[in-house]
Amino acid sequence: MNKPHHRGKSQLTIFNGLSEDETRQLDKLSSLISLESHSYLFHQHSPANAVYMIEDGALMIERSAANGKRQILAFVHPGNFIGFTHNEYYEFSVQTLTAAKLTKIPRRQFIELSDVIPQLKHNVRQISSNVLAHTMDQVFALGQKKANERVCFLLHQLLQRKGEGSTENIDLVMTRQDIADYLGLTIETVSRTFAKLKKDGIIDIHFAHVIEILDMQQLRAFALAT
Amino acid sequence: MNKPHHRGKSQLTIFNGLSEDETRQLDKLSSLISLESHSYLFHQHSPANAVYMIEDGALMIERSAANGKRQILAFVHPGNFIGFTHNEYYEFSVQTLTAAKLTKIPRRQFIELSDVIPQLKHNVRQISSNVLAHTMDQVFALGQKKANERVCFLLHQLLQRKGEGSTENIDLVMTRQDIADYLGLTIETVSRTFAKLKKDGIIDIHFAHVIEILDMQQLRAFALAT
DNA sequence: CGGGACCTTGAAACACCTCAAATATGGTGG
DNA sequence: CCACCATATTTGAGGTGTTTCAAGGTCCCG
């Protein structure tokens, strides 16, 4: 494929620090795929045949249970690397929140390549460490934080993947239900918590999906509380 | 070191499938350390200089916050491999629940060795996958399960590391507070939940720390609920 | 046998959930 | 471009599970 890969500002991607030749080797394995909004990239328990890098759009990683309960494990964005595992089957599903474009790389071949390109191996390890760290953060949030702290935790995460920029607006591409399933709350509690944060002057809600941070200091205090 | 390594029945350890020579190479890097009960192996944010394999005893992985809140990330047992990271600093503390013996291996040298021994590399990857899977299970439990389901979730986990044996007794080496901090509950809720499970005939409580499973089917139903 | 730490139990408060209804939003066809 | 519709969000009222605060009981170890 010849399309340029997404490269975030200072964000870590699998392409970081690769030589042109190494990048070419990866490119030879790659294909670009497009997905519609609210479609599945793959499902839990399906064979883990490929890894993906997000070029454009937003997706969420989810785990569902027989009784219909659903836990969102992460919201992912351009530059993120997903589907990497050493198990035979995926342990979660990945669903698009918007139309999306992804680079697809056969998993076996990707692993073989990462075994011979030290920089690529290093990147993969770094990303894997970050994924685990992110998941541990979520455990802490779900185990120890109150509803308002959890919502701020999410807003803070969404802010961080933009630059350390000013009090920008946050565009929430996910529904309240998605947020609830990420934070272990109900949709009503999420909605009420947003309302309370607005009343307290910490955020403003321009539209349901456009949030402005008014008091960054307080937001961070809630987000990092505990 | 010449002490034999712990090898669980079918449990995956870093030593799985290594040749005698490869095992010897690891042994040359290893030292055996002993820790008293309720002492720290290392603290969050300290330099990640070594990885460890548990030979004997029980420990817990914890993450603490400034305000005193604490989240237990895992209870670990003989055969488990801990401290492996590609970050410069540990992201959690490890504390002993009992007196413990561990094999200590310098992290840098361990990583170098795992780069040249395919089987060791494979084992490390497998273990890392398991750690992430375990953490995702915990996210699901904390986000979606009720108190009784969470307690059964823990009991079920503790049962699994013994054989698929019969209705054995479980020896809880951790305190009710540790359990509470693992499951995102309070100590009183944990205590009341145990009482309720006993009243419902699902478990029996011989001593506070010796639990017998009476109704395995119901326990699993609760543990895996959702 | 005594003392401290841990565990259990009770009662009341509270955060969050459930159920229900009203309102807002965003996409679509006329 | 607007009106309409389906869907998503907000808000209200009441219920429930979990927490908080407090007291009593149990266990273990010296």
Residues of A in contact with B66 (CB under 8 A): 226
Residues with CB under 7 A from strand C: A 146-148, 184-186, 188-189, 207-209; B 175-177, 187-188, 190-192, 194-195, 205, 208-209
Hey, are the CB atoms on B65 and A226 less than 8 Å from each other? yes
* pLDDT the model gives residue B66: 87
Share of chain B above pLDDT 90, in %: 88
Hey, are the CB atoms on B135 and A131 less than 8 Å from each other? no
Q: What is the nearest nucleotide to B176, using C1' and CA?
A: C7
pTM of the model: 0.95
Assess contact for A81 and A62: CB atoms under 8 A. no
Q: How far apart are CA B105 and CA A8, in angstroms?
A: 36
Q: Considering chain B, what is the average pLDDT of its residues?
A: 93
CA of B91 to C1' of D8 (A): 39
* pLDDT the model gives residue B7: 47
In DSSP terms, which residues pair with B170 in a beta bridge?
Answer: B211
Q: What is the DSSP string of chain A?
A: --SPPP--SS---TTTT--HHHHHHHHHH-EEEEE-TT-EEE-TTSB--EEEEEEES-EEEEEE-TTS-EEEEEEE-TT-EE---SSSB-SSEEEESS-EEEEEEEHHHHHHHHHH-HHHHHHHHHHHHHHHHHHHHHHHHHHH--HHHHHHHHHHHHHHTS-S-SS-EEE--S-HHHHHHHHT--HHHHHHHHHHHHHTTSEEEEETTEEEES-HHHHHHHHH--
Share of chain A above pLDDT 90, in %: 88
Residue A116, pLDDT > 50, answer yes
Q: How far apart are CA A133 and CA B206, in angstroms?
A: 38
pLDDT digits (tens, 9 = 90+) for B93-126: 999 999 999 999 999 999 999 999 999 999 999 9
Assess contact for A57 and A96: CB atoms under 8 A. yes
Q: Is A100 exposed, middle or buried (0-12, 13-18, 19+ CB in 10 A)?
A: buried
Residue bearing the bigger pLDDT, B9 or B131: B131
Stretch A94-113: mean pLDDT, rounded?
Answer: 97
* pLDDT the model gives residue A108: 96
Residue A165, pLDDT > 80, answer no
pLDDT digits (tens, 9 = 90+) for B141-197: 999 999 999 999 999 999 998 766 656 789 999 999 999 999 999 999 999 999 999
Using an 8 Å CB-CB cutoff, list residues of chain B that contact chain A: 63, 65-67, 69-71, 73, 85-87, 91-92, 125-126, 128-129, 131-133, 135-136, 138-140, 142-144, 181-184, 225-226
Provide the pLDDT confidence category of residue B3 given band limits of 50, 70 and 90: very low
Hey, are the CB atoms on A135 and B140 less than 8 Å from each other? no
Stretch A201-222: mean pLDDT, rounded?
Answer: 95
* pLDDT the model gives residue B167: 63
Closest to A141 in 3D by CA, of A178, A180, A184: A184
Residue A8, pLDDT > 60, answer no
Cα nearest neighbour of B71 on chain A = A140
pLDDT digits (tens, 9 = 90+) for A56-86: 999 999 999 988 899 999 999 999 999 999 9
Hey, are the CB atoms on B144 and A73 less than 8 Å from each other? no
Element housing B23 (H / E)? helix B20-29
Q: Considering chain A, what is the average pLDDT of its residues?
A: 93
Assess contact for B102 and B41: CB atoms under 8 A. yes
Chain B nearest CA to A64, separation (Å): 8
Q: Is A10 exposed, middle or buried (0-12, 13-18, 19+ CB in 10 A)?
A: exposed
Stretch B50-64: mean pLDDT, rounded?
Answer: 97
Hey, are the CB atoms on A63 and B140 less than 8 Å from each other? yes
In three-state secondary structure terms, B122 is helix
- Most B CBs within 10 A among A144, A178, A181, A182, hence the mutation to make, goes to A144
Residues of B in contact with A143 (CB under 8 A): 71, 142, 181-184
Element housing B217 (H / E)? helix B216-224
